[in-house]
Amino acid sequence: MAKYSTGSGGSDAGGSCELCGADGGDLQTASVAGATLQVCDDCARDHGENERTSTGDSSPDERDRRKRAAQNVARAHDAQQADPSHWEDGADYDDDQLPYLVSGYGDVVVTARQEEGLQTAELAEELGLDEADVLAVEQGRATQANVGGSVIAALEQFLDVELVEAN
């Protein structure tokens, strides 16, 4: 059974591989999925991403440099995730939030649409909506499909139904 490193560092010659758990043999330092691990020759060959060195060959300065580089990459990644400016332009769901919908809202829309004598595609075209959004509402999956509140408002107005739960 494999064991996982907590970054203990140091020489583990004669220890067990941190990927497959194989005991004995010379271990190598390999970068696997961004983590530096002590692994056997087979795992180093199959999973290692960078140049591998035998255990203990890295100087303390080199290990510190690699550690700082990994920390810098992690900080840059975290900063990018916190900055929404790299997201694509499109619907601003903060301005078009889906309101709380009444129970069975999908059935309400289907019944009202059928009473109007329209198919789903015809209703979507009439309102200038995406057919996939109308279908998601009819199937009761508006939240999962990220349907905006404007779609619900258009359906309510055109079909003369109440879809939004009263406060």
Q: Rounded CA gap, 78 and 83, in Å?
A: 9
Please enumerate in sequence order all residues whose Cβ is within 8 A of that of 81, keeping only pairs 6 or more positions apart, or say none.
none
What does the pLDDT look like over 117-160, one tens digit per residue? 999 999 999 999 999 999 999 999 998 888 988 999 999 999 99
What does the pLDDT look like over 31-76, one tens digit per residue? 777 778 888 887 777 766 554 444 455 677 777 777 777 777 777 6
Q: Does the pLDDT value for residue 10 go beyond 50?
A: no
CB–CB of 18/38 below 8 Å? yes
- Go through the domains of the chain in sequence order and give each one's CATH number: 1-58 (no CATH), 105-159 (1.10.260.40)
Q: Give the Å distances, CA to CA, from 78 to 41, 81, 84.
A: 33, 5, 12
